[in-house]
Amino acid sequence: MKTPRHKISGRPTPSREIAELRVRAADAEETLRAIRANEVDTVLVAGKRGDQVFTLQGAEHAYRVLIESMNEGALTLTADKVILYANQCFAKMVKCPLEQVTGNSFRRFLSAEDRATLRPLIKRADQSGTKIQVLLNACDGSQMPVQISIRRLAKNGFNHAPVGLVVTDMTEARRNEEMLRALTHRVVQVQEAERGRVALELHDDITQLLCAVLFRSQALADKISARDGPAKKEAMKLREMLGQTAKEVERISSNLRPSVLDQLGLVAVLRDTSTEFAHRTGVPVKLACVQLTARLPADTELALYRILQEALKNVEKHARARHVAVRLTQQGSFIQLAVTDDGIGFDHPVRQKGKGGLGLLGMRERATYVGGTLKVSSVRRAGTEIEVRIPLPSDATAAIK
């Protein structure tokens, strides 16, 4: 219990009045600090009709009702992680009677790995709070994915101050994440199958037809006498344009087909894709690749190829870049592909997450599917870098020089 100490009696002089006011201000400040730090349960105020007692029980009661009605677990821990207080919701989460939760160690509900991750966070916790996702081990042996918000309950530097935890059940969120992942994966699979089908139709039907038309236009040009100059010129021009169209259709078809990888190998395909992009857009691409003495796993090669295609498509569509660099490197047991441009960058990379396009989502999904990660870094008006890191099996690591 804290009692403010502001009673200075006697006739006031100006300097004494100032001193008295200072003491009162200091008192008020200290009282407020103590109330905020939960060190006060009663305030005693000296008045004309004697001392008046104000208890803060009313306010505490409201907080208790709030915490007990929360759909999240709430706990206070000692510095040694002993549970001082837990609400009913937490007891339900760990499927344990509340009496057995209070006084127990919080570590009991965590795996050894999660304990090690949580230890420094609890030690360093301050009043601004940190968050972490762990698995909660319930008393019946089941597990629940949760997010824990950690906050020290008293002033910084107060080493033994209790720590407050809010524990949120993430089961539903995880399930939604998994569903979204499965859906995105399905989209990528369907996209791959559809690309293969379109590539086949382009190759087997359109290219065949174009070749036939090309052949006949050549025959027509040959039939037109050299004396009929403009008509012959026009027929030759037509033949040339048809030749270009057939080439373009073949290019699109081979871009759509993953089988192009089988014929050329990863490095050659990355080189072809970069060269074709540079020729078509006029934006030079600097390519640097590690030497591969053997093929990487087919899934990994396909993921890297598709990510490069998609990243270059984005450069063409959005970046307004003057240069592009493509680097394929080995980092320990990982293969890494980075596509960097010096364009306008994203408006705001975080906000882009919710924006309509499928490109970035598809790239991330392709990386995740082969156990890798994708990192997007973008600086406004300075450019963008897409970096994918994929782990390699040990025999594939040996294939990199």
Ligand X SMILES: Nc1ncnc2c1ncn2[C@@H]1O[C@H](COP(=O)(O)OP(=O)(O)OP(=O)(O)O)[C@@H](O)[C@H]1O
Q: Least Å distance between CB 353 and ligand X?
A: 9
Q: Residue 296 gets which letter from DSSP?
A: P
Q: Does 258 bind ligand X (CB under 6 A)?
A: no
DSSP code string of 80-132:
T-BEEEE-HHHHHHTTS-HHHHTTSBGGGGB-HHHHHHHHHHHHH--TT-EEE
104 binds, among ligand X, Mg ion, none (CB under 5 to 8 A by kind): none
Structure tokens at 203: 């190759």
Q: Does 151 bind ligand X (CB under 6 A)?
A: no
Is the alpha carbon torsion for 274, 320, 376, 356 positive or negative? Answer: negative
Closer CB to ligand X, 301 or 341, in the complex: 341
Closer CB to ligand X, 125 or 304, in the complex: 304
Q: Does 360 bind ligand X (CB under 6 A)?
A: yes
The single residue among 76, 105, 352, 397 that binds ligand X, judged by CB under 6 A, is 352
The single residue among 359, 361, 371, 385 that binds Mg ion, judged by CB under 5 A, is 359
- How many distinct helices (H) and strands (E) make up the chain? 14, 12
Asked if residue 271 lies in contact with residue 379, where contact means CB atoms within 8 angstroms, the answer is: no
Could you give the count of Cα atoms lying within 13 Å of 274 in the half-sphere of its Cβ? 24
Q: Does 144 bind ligand X (CB under 6 A)?
A: no
- Give the separation between CA 211 and CA 165, rounded to whole angstroms: 71
Q: Least Å distance between CB 395 and ligand X?
A: 34
Q: Does 357 bind ligand X (CB under 6 A)?
A: yes
The single residue among 123, 279, 317, 375 that binds ligand X, judged by CB under 6 A, is 317
Q: Does 277 bind ligand X (CB under 6 A)?
A: no
Q: 244, 302, 228: which is closest to 269 by C-alpha?
A: 302
Q: Does 319 bind ligand X (CB under 6 A)?
A: yes
Q: Does 309 bind Mg ion (CB under 5 A)?
A: no
Is the alpha carbon torsion for 260, 265, 266, 268 positive or negative? Answer: negative
Asked if residue 338 lies in contact with residue 386, where contact means CB atoms within 8 angstroms, the answer is: yes
367 binds, among ligand X, Mg ion, none (CB under 5 to 8 A by kind): none
Which amino acid belongs to residue 147? Answer: Q
- Residue nearest Mg ion by beta-carbon distance: 359
The single residue among 318, 323, 391, 399 that binds ligand X, judged by CB under 6 A, is 318
Closer CB to ligand X, 169 or 341, in the complex: 341
Residues in contact with ligand X by CB under 6 A are 314-315, 317-319, 341, 343-346, 352, 355, 357-361, 384
Residues in contact with Mg ion by CB under 5 A are 314, 357, 359
